Amino acid sequence: MEALLEKIIKDCAPYKTLGRPASYIPELANGDINDLGIYVTCSDGQSFMAGDALKPFTIQSIVKPILLLLCLMDNGPDLVRDKIGVEATGKPFDAINVTEGSLSSSHLNPMVNMGAILMCTMIKGRDSGERFSRLLELTRLLADNPSVELDQKVYLSEKQTGSKNRALAYLLKTYGMIDGDVEEILDCYFKACSIKVTCKDLANIAFTFANRGRHPLSDKRLFPAEYAHFVNAVLVTCGMYDGSGDFAVKVGVPAKSGVGGGIMAVSPTKMGIGIFSPGLDSKGNSIAGIKVLEQLSKEMYLSIF
């Protein structure tokens, strides 16, 4: 497996420089487009890596499946379905013009920014600090890494330049979909996106979803299997932004990307995959990262279709 991963990293290296790091968040613009790494956690307990698999980066939108899981754990699937839709929007992840009429839950899904901001209000806690702390602890548990922490510089950069997300939050408030202070809600969201991880962390998190809620090493149940089914289904239809359909055809596994350059992919019952390469396409997905996943999926027949 390690030889295969090394070959794939080498084959996909030319794609690293075809994209650019996210520039609308100043700290992310400093990303090195020469970085490319992969980590795989397998069902037999073995793990493999190649390239820059242990280099830290911020989780960004890959936190959304974890947010969704925590919302399911706190509220149950019925209430989550009542508050947030599951259909693909067909629009960019930060789109404001999701509907020409009144905004409703059916216009959102958990993998776009507006849906994630709404989910931040559904996490149980006295305030945004406690809600974020619970999210961080769950991330550490799933990653099997107690040292996962907040990247303070990226958090402050997100907070200072987050005008678009503020607009989305106020739109939600206008239609009565969130209560409370918008800045406090957004503080939880900005911190959530600024959690620092590695490909190894993402692979371990992905494997808990691949393993239907069980820990990758101990096999201890961390959450109900039905929640893994819920999250994986949403990842297939919405996880790769408005490029999800094309990704499903070419790769065919539940996955979530982030504008930090990460991709988390779930191969049900087989493996969890974490990839990092900060050069993005116009949709906000890692160009080299998708190529790596595409090649790995073909070599190992990972597609669920």
d(CA 57, CA 194): 9
Closest CA to 52 of 279, 208, 300, 217: 279
Helix axes 128-143, 182-193, angle to 10 degrees: 20
Whether 191 is a known active-site residue: answer: no
d(CA 277, CA 290): 9
Total number of residues shown for the chain: 305
Cα dihedral 288, 292, 298, 299, rounded to 10, equals 150
Which residue in the list 241, 253, 257, 297 is annotated as catalytic?
A: 241
CB neighbours (10 Å) of residue 20? Answer: 15
Which residue in the list 40, 47, 61, 266 is annotated as catalytic?
A: 61
Distance (Å) of CA 166 to CA 131, 162, 175: 19, 6, 14
- Is residue 105 within 8 Å of residue 84, measured between CB atoms? yes
- Is residue 282 within 8 Å of residue 23, measured between CB atoms? no
d(CA 111, CA 269): 23
Whether 128 is a known active-site residue: answer: no
Which residue in the list 15, 39, 189, 227 is annotated as catalytic?
A: 189
Whether 259 is a known active-site residue: answer: yes
d(CA 254, CA 243): 13
Q: Which two tokens stand for residue 263?
A: 């991709």
CA 236-241-243 angle, to 5 degrees, is 80
Which residue in the list 64, 200, 270, 291 is annotated as catalytic?
A: 64
Whether 241 is a known active-site residue: answer: yes
Which residue in the list 86, 98, 236, 259 is annotated as catalytic?
A: 259
Q: Could you list the active site residues?
A: 61, 64, 189, 241, 259
